[in-house]
Chains A and B, each alone.
Chain A
Amino acid sequence: MPNERDLLNEHDLLNSLDDEPRGPSRVDIQRAIADGRRRRARRGIAYTGAAAVTALAVAGAAVATGVLDQRPTQVAATGTAPTAVSTPAQPQYTIPGTTDWSVPPSIPPARCTLDRLPVPDNAPAALVSGADPTGRYLVGRSYPKAGGYQAVIWHDGKAAKVMLPGDLEESLQDVNSTGTAVGWSYTGNGEADTGPVPYVYHDGKVSKLPGVRRGSAYAINNAGAIAGDDNGDAALVWPSATAQPIRLPLPAGASRASANDIDEDGTVVGTMTVSGQSTASASGVAPTVPYVWFADGTHRPLPMPTIDGVQAATASVAGVHNGWAIGVASRDTKTRGAGSPGDADRAAATRAVRWNIRNREVRVFDDLGFGADATNAHGWQVGTDRQGRAVLLTDTAIVVLPDLADPPPGGLATIPSTLSDDGRTIAGQSDDATGKIQPIVWRCRPASP
């Protein structure tokens, strides 16, 4: 043991370390509240109640009877199953928007029923994080009884474990219509050495993606191109699971970028951080710019939306499908710890945004509380509304997705994370009566004639 004299020395020595970090605080109370709400909802609190299986509620009068009438020309298309649905094993890869490609039937669903998905080893909890555009393949992870995480793939409702290397944390993020899934798993021992490794899974086989030691894969399109990052400052695209990754270019002034999703035609969306504006400024956090990289090599920022008459200061994009990109924007990058008046309004200043990346049209959706979780070929969206309920937002209607059990007050017990191109299959998670997260698939159909 150290003697008393030494203790006094060390006390003085260490006691001199009382300084705060020199940089500005990037702690964000409103973000803590928003994240906390989600976590609370996901973990849930035990509550009782019978399962509401087909609860149908429609917010607003928009739906009522007008749904079919507003899209009469598309009724005829219902009988024709989209190519991708009928041949999931080897889908024809056609770029959305080109002549051979047709948008699947688009009668907006009016009601959805839910089914619980099976979980390998009867793990107590699991969730869905990604799906192919048909909704026949789903990926996610379970939370085994023994602790930790287990990557899972579902095909036509059947669950299978995917054994990714590493036992720290893992997740499959996306899957395409051939059943090829991508994700990441943490490996390493000790703080300095631990990091994610990007993996691809196909037909029972797991392979590490080439070209990086660390990194993550977030999305894969039907052509097999994969978007991800190197766990550093670079956004990456792997043209295939075996090809070396391409480092996506950054415009002058950008310090880092992330690639979050890849469209069927190879268009990548992500978020770029502007350097130089982040140092010790009063605003606290570096503003981010929503960004798109086209398959022809050009790239550009997406336009900033206007929120309450003011151009957004920061925005990010999370997903893209058939040229529709979804994300969030905020008026303010402010995050400093000081509790200035208006602190509580800050979360409310964040809005769900959808871009049409072909014509640069940008639209703010006030009905969604956080930003959509997924979009499809029609630009329909699934997400969480301002009451915390899971919803499907089509061009004409808002359909509330039923919960597995009576939700606790405050909502967010049910979170959708995928939306098929035909709008008929949605997957995600919903808390059961004991507050455990369960993987869910919703089947949706148009209103009965």
Chain B
Amino acid sequence: MRDASEREYVDYVTGRIPALRRLAYLLVGDEHRADDLVQQTITTLYVKWKRARAADHLDAYVRTMLVRTHLDERRLAWARVQLFHKVPDPDPIEEHGIEDRQIIRAELARVPRRQRAVLVLRFCYDLPVDEVATILGCSAGTVKSQTSRGLATLRRLLDERGFVRHPAMN
């Protein structure tokens, strides 16, 4: 398939990789596995490219693909085909320079996966409940309850960590 269609795929994916990495990073909370997830998603996208390129909202289509890949249990086994060689972990965060964002990210990674996906899509991506429901393949009611549980979990984790919210946030 070294043709116009493949060229189109390469162009599209090239442009979307930064956005997909951001989403994957939010969902999995680990750089290596985030790239893993993006790699799997764009592989699936290649397989389905002929259908996908006809989608009304290709970005949304691919985002859904990534989230569902993340939530698919079987992916865990599939990922054993180690797509990447681990690179050394980034330098540890220095105590005096801890950023709120890093704390939030770390605690978010401890929220159960489905709840985390709901929080990420609703609050990081500002997606409405019904769209999140479509992405996750569940009802709007489930999204709402997962939101509620996810927020409760996140708050509890942040409190345990002694995270102090900025006044503006309270």
A interface residues with partner B (beta carbon < 8 Å): 1-2, 6, 9-23, 25-29, 31-33, 35-37, 39-40, 43, 168-169, 186, 191, 194, 196, 216, 233, 255-256, 273, 275, 278-279, 285-286, 288, 337-339, 343-344, 410
Contact = CB atoms under 8 A, between A and B. Distances in A.
Nearest to B80: A196
26 contacts: A10-B119, A10-B123, A11-B123, A12-B168, A19-B22, A19-B101, A20-B22, A23-B90, A25-B17, A27-B21, A27-B42, A32-B45, A36-B47, A37-B1, A39-B43, A168-B76, A169-B77, A186-B77, A191-B113, A194-B77, A196-B80, A285-B85, A286-B85, A337-B21, A339-B14, A344-B2
Nearest to B30: A21
Interface of B: 1-2, 6-7, 9-11, 13-15, 17-18, 20-22, 25-26, 31-32, 34-35, 38-39, 42-47, 49, 73-74, 76-78, 80, 83-88, 90, 100-101, 104-105, 108, 113, 119-120, 123-124, 126, 144, 147-148, 151, 154, 165, 168-170
A338 B17 CA distance: 8
Nearest to B152: A2
A1 B31 contact: no
A286 B101 contact: no
A344 B25 contact: no
Contacts of B25: 19-21
Contact of A26 (B1, B11, B84, B144): B84
B103 to A, nearest CB: 10
Given A17-B108, A19-B101, A20-B22, A35 B14 contact: no
A196 to B, nearest CB: 6
Contacts, number: 164
A410 to B, nearest CB: 6
A344 B4 CA distance: 12
A21 B85 contact: no
Contact of B88 (A20, A278, A337): A278
Given A11-B123, A39-B47, A21 B76 contact: no
A168 B74 CA distance: 7
A338 B104 contact: no
B88 A279 contact: yes
Nearest to B154: A10
Given A27-B39, A275-B88, A279-B88, A14 B108 contact: yes
A237 to B, nearest CB: 19
Contacts of A169: 74, 77-78, 80
Given A6-B151, A31-B39, A273-B85, A17 B101 contact: yes
Contact of B35 (A12, A25, A194, A410): A25
A33 B14 contact: no
Given A18-B124, A168-B74, A169-B77, A27 B17 contact: yes
A269 B51 CA distance: 41
A15 to B, nearest CB: 6
Contacts of B17: 25, 27, 29, 337
B139 to A, nearest CB: 15
Nearest to B82: A258
A25 B124 contact: no
With most chain A CB atoms within 10 A of its CB, the pick from B9, B76, B119, B168 is B76
A62 B170 CA distance: 79
B42 A32 contact: yes
A401 to B, nearest CB: 22
Nearest to A41: B47
Given A21-B25, A27-B38, A191-B113, A32 B87 contact: no
A375 B25 CA distance: 40
Given A32-B42, A344-B7, A186 B169 contact: no
A338 B87 contact: no
Contacts of A43: 47
Contacts of A278: 85, 87-88
